[in-house]
A and B are shown apart, each in its own frame.
Chain A
Amino acid sequence: MPDLLVADLSRWQFALTAMYHFLFVPLTLGLSMILVVMEGAYVMTGKEVWRRTTKFWMNLFGINFVLGVATGITMEFQFGTNWSYYSHYVGDVFGAPLAIEGLMAFFLEATLVGLMFFGWDKLSRPAHWMVTFFVALGSNLSALWILIANGWMQNPVGSEFNPDTMRMEVTNFMEVLFNPVAQAKFVHTVSAGYVTAAVFVLGVSAWYVLKNRHLGLAKRSMAVAASFGLLSSLSVVVLGDESGYTLTDNQKMKLAALEAMWHTEEAPAPLTLIGIPDREARETHLEVQVPWVLGLIATRSLDGEVEGILPLVAIAEDRIENGVKAYDAVARLNADPDDAEARTIFEATKRDLGYGMLLLRYTDTPSTADEETIAKAAWDTVPHVAMSFYSFRLMAGLGFLFIGVFALAFYFISLRRNVPKLFLRLAVLIIPLPWIAAELGWILAETGRQPWIIDGVLPTFLGVSSLSASQVITTMVGFTLIYGTLAVVEVSLMIKAISAGPGARLFPAGGGGSDTDELSPAAAAAPSIKFDV
């Protein structure tokens, strides 16, 4: 049995490195798209101010992008270093999207990103725009393949355990590709990235307006951010709802946990707005519920049932008992691959093999487990309810907040063309919020999947490498120091670049136009957005 301390430390390390990596990814996803829009305006209109605007945001994109790349390398190698048994157990299925991500997306993005920065004077306008477009396409395709991999961990379709090789193997790759969980996660995550970038561009531009600097750049950027942000904040909520809907079929326990729904309610189930989940008492205190809504969201019907935590635990108990038979059959097949009786038992029970392995936390021989141990292992299938419950509510609340902000921004900038000072201040203040929402989303997605590293297939604690706790602690301290230092450096460079503004030093000499773009003829001809400052 693997060391539980090493498993916990490895989980902390993965959470640390993944959440740090995801500080940079959403902005890369969204800002790359915004760059395409802005450079498109430059190519279409030929106005110098759009070129300067694009290059300004591109500089910020670059500062952010490198850390996304640098921390992404850690992610890819970490499966092998810290989750070695996991890598063996699922590499046949999980490795493929990762490798395809490299071939199809990351090569494109990384090969062209250099040219995007260095190629302004070496390429024609449309050719450079095409390069920017392919960088954005590459980033977004990267996200697609990574989320296909992650989606499979949430809903392991198209694959089967092979007792001869002791691992999961692909049976239907199309099912892995078109996994509904993966598709829902992809669109939700990518649009969350677009919201992040839109909030960032809106907030930084609002700050310039408040300081009365670089107005030509700021008002154009705000107009782009407002429309881009309105569309993406609407889709992030709509597609997030789709993501929730896929849980109904595929991750019932996660859905029950994020609703803190202990018992199966009569259809259509009510939605709990707020409450205090209590794992010990197995109930939620001080619930405020809205009737019918959960049933409608989760089943798209009035008569579909949403199962509660306790009935799901009872199902898990049965599956564990069945899984013990599968586990024993695998052991017999290991000793003798020609044992026909063991193969028959395995074929009948293989769906529950992972559940049998939950008992390995308590005993090396699952078949000797008593009722009480089985009940304990079944209760282990319940994730951290309060964490799921609160992180979901906070994330969803922020999602609705962004819709409100962008609806206002769109109204002020595009329709009324008069932006009140209070709104500008608000736009600056909310800059950090999309990052918080995105991290909460990952906390929900990943802790909501526990105790499984692959839902229903492999318990997390079994996935680890054979390492000592001191080895894991050493690297964790190392990563914390490096990442901590780089975070400080990155934020200071971002702030420096923003306060410097689109200054001449950032751009090659002779690019045309003056530094004070708000006074240039091009800027004067721009749509007249008024700022109430």
Chain B
Amino acid sequence: MTEIPLDYATLKILWWGLVGALLIGFAVTDGYDLGAASLLPFVAKTDKERRLVINSVGPTWEGHQVWLITGGGALFAAWPFVYAVSFSGFYLAMFVVLAALILRPVGFKYRSKRQSAAWRSGWDWALFVGGFVPALIFGVALGNVLQGVPFNLDSTLRASYDGGLFGLLNPFALLCGLASVAMLVMHGAAYLVAKLERGPVLDRAAGFGTWAGIGVLIFYAAAGVWLMVSGMGYRIVSEIDPQAVANPLRKEVVVETGAWLANYGKYPWMILAPVLGFAGTVLAILGLRKKAGWTIVASGLAAAGIIASIGASMFPFILPSTVNPNASLTVWDSASSQTTLFIMLIVTVIFLPIILIYTSWVFKVLWGRLGTEEANSAGAY
């Protein structure tokens, strides 16, 4: 590799934005699939209604799931430390997520392959688990990330971890889990309101979605207040060289009350993220009450704002450590090498627009509201 035209610090920041964009892409696209699956047993009562909900996301959920898979790959490539420490640290929680995510494709594809009512109801619950459990655990995981997780790094940078599955289930994390479920259920309901023909399923979705939206406002605000008063937050106190090679052990970090809110004073534009989170949710609630198709845009913006607000609050931290704050992973010391970040940037700049083009084309082909009859035709799931 000859001269790399972007300096290391710039690449690190760009990748912070790109990983965030991939997470937001996942929440905005697959998020409504997860939400719709969580709503499945409640908004759809008969077999025909359930196939209506399932087939509303049937042709597209598989592509959406790739946001998660590519997000995982990007984490591995751009922030190998974060990938290694978080995935092994959340070991059993990760297993539960994987088990739920395995059920989802199979549930979609296999449910209607047999007529038996027991078979179909079994897969309906599998789809519910496949939607609800990841929504809950992703929120719980983010709640833990905000508090810091108990890991340490030895001199060879091997990570060790003292905490199990139940350590993750603390009150703040559970609050974040609820916020996440409410957000995705609201988003899923907004999608059903936009995609389905008028009828009982759409009415029920609008009803559940409204309550979920109110839940988002309450849980998201409560989490914000909790952050403010609880003393959550970490700050780097040593000199930091943004161009330095990735070694998380070469800095000093303190736990500091309110540090997670300090960025909004330092970079006032970051306030846009939580504002978008609240405003999008309020708009989505209004839209759901009117059963308007544009609600999906509002709930998507809400999801983007809420996720961006977590990233903005924590910057430059990515994964703080409670047992050894100095070992915390940050944007400056957890990234891949300059070469890898640059190559991956080029690949992303080329392929992300292509992905957006063919995804839009697929949506264009499938444009239009889905009715019970079409959703129950032989070509559907």
Contacts and interface: CB of A to CB of B under 8 A. Distances in A.
B247 A165 contact: yes
A45 interface: no
Contacts of A164: 245, 247
Contact of A66 (B1, B81, B105): B105
Contact of A467 (B91, B339, B362): B91
A63 B88 contact: no
Given A99-B73, A101-B73, A91 B80 contact: yes
Interface stretch (B44-52, B59-67, B259-267, B293-301): B59-67
B92 A167 contact: no
B109 A115 contact: no
Interface stretch (B35-43, B217-225, B282-290, B352-360): B352-360
A334 B156 CA distance: 8
Interface string B179-217: 000000000000000000000000000000000000000
B254 interface: no
Contact of B351 (A104, A111, A466, A497): A104
Contacts of B59: 114-115, 117-119
Contacts of B58: 114, 118
Contacts of B1: 170-173
B252 to A, nearest CB: 17
B337 interface: yes
B70 A167 contact: no
A98 B337 CA distance: 16
Interface stretch (B93-101, B168-176, B304-312): B93-101
A85 B84 contact: yes
A118 B351 contact: no
A22 to B, nearest CB: 16
A119 B68 CA distance: 25
A294 interface: no
Contact of B84 (A88, A112, A122, A335): A88
A273 interface: no
Contact of A103 (B91, B102, B355, B380): B355
Contact of A74 (B78, B91, B102, B339): B102
A94 to B, nearest CB: 8
B72 interface: yes
B69 to A, nearest CB: 5
A122 B340 CA distance: 41
B91 A96 contact: no
B365 to A, nearest CB: 5
A101 B76 CA distance: 12
B85 interface: yes
Contacts of B104: 70
Contacts of A331: 155
A76 B358 contact: no
Interface in A486-529: 486, 489, 493, 496-497, 504-509
B118 interface: no
Contacts of A299: none
A108 B101 CA distance: 20
A103 B70 contact: yes
A103 B70 CA distance: 6
A313 B336 CA distance: 35
Contact of B336 (A85, A95, A123, A171): A95
Interface in A77-96: 77, 79-82, 84-85, 87-88, 90-96
Interface string B225-245: 000000000000000000001
Interface string A147-161: 000000000000000
Contacts of B84: 80, 84-85, 87-88, 91, 465
Given A80-B86, A118-B366, A93 B340 contact: yes
Interface in A34-63: 62-63
A519 to B, nearest CB: 22
B60, B77, B160 pick with most chain A CB within 10 angstroms? B77
Given A102-B69, A162-B245, A482-B99, A77 B87 contact: yes
Contacts of A172: 1
B76 A98 contact: yes
B102 A110 contact: no
B63 A111 contact: yes
B83 interface: yes
A120 interface: yes
A401 interface: no
Interface stretch (B5-13, B137-145, B314-322, B341-349): B341-349
A46 B86 CA distance: 54
Interface stretch (A182-190, A278-286, A439-447, A470-478): A470-478
B69 A73 contact: yes
Contact of B91 (A117, A475, A489): A475
Contacts of A408: none
A2, A87, A106, A493 pick with most chain B CB within 10 angstroms? A87
A166 interface: yes
A100 interface: yes
A140 interface: no
Nearest to A115: B362
Interface string B142-161: 00000000000001111111
A185 B65 CA distance: 28
B108 interface: yes
A166 B157 contact: yes
Contacts of B246: 165
Given A85-B159, A103-B70, A103-B347, A486 B106 contact: yes
B111 to A, nearest CB: 11
Contacts of B336: 91-92, 95, 169
A103 B106 contact: no
A71 interface: yes
A81 B77 contact: no
Contacts of A386: none
Contacts of A111: 60, 62-63, 66, 355, 358-359, 362
B154 to A, nearest CB: 10
A326 to B, nearest CB: 13
A143 interface: no
B80 A87 contact: yes
Contacts of B81: 88, 91
A522 B336 CA distance: 59
A234 interface: no
B358 A80 contact: no
Contact of B69 (A65, A76, A504): A76
B253 interface: no
B268 interface: no
Contact of B98 (A77, A103, A167): A77
Contacts of A74: 98, 102
B271 interface: no
B74 interface: yes
Contact of B365 (A77, A81, A90, A122): A122
A113 interface: yes
Contact of A80 (B88, B102, B157, B362): B88
B351 A95 contact: no
Contacts of A93: 340
A432 B337 CA distance: 45
7 contacts: A70-B105, A85-B159, A87-B83, A95-B76, A103-B70, A467-B91, A486-B106
Interface of A: 2, 62-63, 65-67, 69-74, 76-77, 79-82, 84-85, 87-88, 90-96, 98-104, 106-108, 110-115, 117-123, 162, 164-167, 169-173, 331, 334-335, 465-467, 471, 474-475, 478, 482, 486, 489, 493, 496-497, 504-509
Given A104-B351, A475-B92, 4 more contacts: A66-B108, A87-B80, A113-B62, A173-B1
Interface of B: 1, 58-63, 65-66, 68-70, 72-78, 80-81, 83-88, 91-92, 94-95, 98-99, 101-106, 108-110, 113-114, 155-161, 245-247, 336-337, 339-340, 343-344, 347-348, 351-352, 355, 358-359, 362, 365-366, 377-380
Q: What 7 A-B pairs come out closest when comparing CB atoms? A: A91-B80, A80-B87, A102-B70, A111-B63, A95-B77, A95-B76, A99-B73
